[in-house]
Structure 1
Amino acid sequence: MERQRFDSHQEHPPAWISGYHLVYIQEGEGIMRVDGDPLLLKSGKVVLLKPDCCIEMEVRSGKPLFLYDFSFTYTMISDKPRQAEKVALSTGHHMLSAKAAVQLSLLLEQLEQRQGIEEPLAQWKQSILFQECMHLVLSDPVSSEETGGTREAIEKVLLYLQEHYRGDISLKEVAHMHGISASNFSGVFKKHVGLNPLDYVTQLRIAQAQRKLKASQPIELVAREVGFKDPLYFSRIFKRTVGVTPSIYRKHRHTDKIITLLPHLNDYLLALEVKPFATLPYGGNDHINGYLPYLARELQETKLTGSWNKPDMDELVEAQPGLILGSNWFPINLETVKKIAPTIPIILRDDWQSLLLDFARFFGKGDEWKLWMRRYEQKVMQAKSLLSLSHSSRESVMILTVTCSEYRVYGGRRQLGKVLYEDLQLTPPAGITTKAHYVCVNLEQIQAMNPDHIFLTTNNSNPSKEQIKNLKETKAWSSLRAVQKNQVYEVESWLNGHAPIKHSLSIDVAIDHLAANRQKPWEAIGM
């Protein structure tokens, strides 16, 4: 097995291969020409190549293309006659399902860890792992339509659209050119690609526009070069897709002076490898030098300005920021801030994935977003596998936050509840739904729910911590099943939030407390 990297700025001469090859695309996009026939490559695709063919590689994005390449031979054992005989293996390509892609990634990581070990049992294990890879690839459910000519036709459509997105495109003509019914074309295309053809072309055009705007080309010229005849229409579509107008994007996407007016926004930026120049301090008692504890090391070079809910206007002016990111969380007068630098109000919402995508589009970090989401999905799959070995997968789990005035039991709509109940599919206590944010309850109601496990936190105030102390001294608390079984886990208050890095760390915490086997195999993923 060999993990290969192909860069866009390097030439990749044709190569002849001998033997069968199983190729799995891990990251990036490109084109593989097999004996001259183009094949679109993207993350999650597997290609089975026959012996004695010519391969040419082309990287289509600015990011490198990473793939795993297995060279192998195989033998079929037959009882009649009782001898090994070479048989033809059907070659081809298809996209793995999301579940199969995660499983294959895990198998590949195990294979990679055993590379170069010559001990016989280790080599036997490598052989078993490779056979599991082959079985997974060949048994992943693919519809009969997908295994036929339709999928290959869609592949050719994608290549055609990537070459001709700048011009006028007639979907009826494209469908006819590739042998697909015009009436069914949009539906078939969306089934295979996930977008309808028009949205896919728009996505191509906007992605190219973002690259061209980096070079400070005039907006009117960029619009024409990516296929928009009307610059005003281009600006409207660009803003709808990216979140800001082309002029703001061109002026500020490169800035190294981003100031965030909410510490939690830094979680999103760091997930995309964007570091803010300055930020407001985190107001929790558990702060580390004014930063959120889990981000303090990454933000040690980021300046602090003002107080937790109010920026220092003089410091903002002196910093001369290129971009300010506000939010709807605290009542900060953004109209005043806008006089200092372009300001984008960030509307926080339950769905952190879509907000992360909005940031990725603005900063041109699409590949980083894809990588983050793929790694997060892998982490979820691995965590669920570990939890399935534990009794906790069949027991009720409560998220209880104690404030100075009330008890809150969280559902699965956002924050830690979304990780435990939606992602890891753990069981909430009776009466709590996965669609609820939280409900306020009294001690008698907590007794009635009587969960097997409790994640206990505060709203990070000293009175709340005193309230937890008082709660623990009650007979009702002592009677709870989770308390009697020593399955109450006090966690940091910042953990009960919703942001990408925070959710990733929440999975670690859940596994540490709930999994029978507490080894975290995803640590190699780097989240």
Structure 2
Amino acid sequence: MESLQDYTNINIVKRENPLSKEGGFFYLLLYTYLKECKQEGAFQMNLNINQITEYYARAPVMFVDMFMNSMPKGSKDSGRFTAPNLAGLIIPLKGSATFSLNGMPYFMSANTIVHAGPSMNIDIEVQSGDEWQYAVIHYQIAENHLGKYPYFNKHFSISVDTNGLLTELTHQLMKNYITPTNMAKLSCKGLFLQLVETILVSSSKKIDNVDQMDLAVRLIHEQYSRPITIQDLAMQLGIERRRFAYLFERYTGLTPIHYLTEIRIRRAKELLRSGITVAEVAEKVGYLDNFYFSRVFKKHTGLSPTMYKKLL
């Protein structure tokens, strides 16, 4: 099988990379950040798999092109935009990264595929671990039909089961795309539709867990100011604690306690800027012991809350 480097080299020779060289990725989907993003059009669409399936079943989608790329661990990419007039599917092939579109961060691993609309600002940040490899597959809808299918211009994620068939189909599509024959072009049309179908079928099998984890994320955003525990969250969802932790980490890329702590620290920083005392901040973000809050804050930021306030 051809290497990823073979594919990227061919793409560079043939054409400019349409997913331009601008982008950077945010570490996590955080509630207060999303509230700001919503007003700027960066809020993720809440689409269920049935809505997405109906869109692809009805819309006259046409495969256009694709490319593959890789980024080393710890790297960032920003300042680029998605291709104009084209929508695309971003498919992870190896590793993980945070992929932001118009400021909306998506944690991408083998279980998440992201749909991007035209001319969207891109930011990518590769988490620690392996390098990140991904494919971008562009498609279009005839201009006179675009008004009927608004999802074409939106960004949203599709959660899937880890599926070797998706990777295999992606590589098959790439192999045909770089083959300059009419038969290969015809194969691209069928492979693209087969890939979309495989994604949707895989996602439909995960719908119960996805809905539960969506609710878990919302509960954390709503209850972070209370001294909640992971056991509390698991009980609210009716899931055994260890299974909840496993499903949550698969869904977000972070353990429940890490996710909760990230949200609390982010909110604590905002409150410290407002001038209230450290003890008041601790209470407002769910810590009953302000000394413990200070230790957690310093562990995550490298500064004590008091020092952080002085540096503002």
Q: TM-score range by the shorter chain?
A: 0.3 to 0.5
- Asked which structure has the greater RCO (Cα within 8 Å, sep 6+), the reply is 2
TM-score scaled to structure 1, two decimals?
A: 0.30
Larger radius of gyration: 1
TM-score scaled to structure 2, two decimals?
A: 0.48
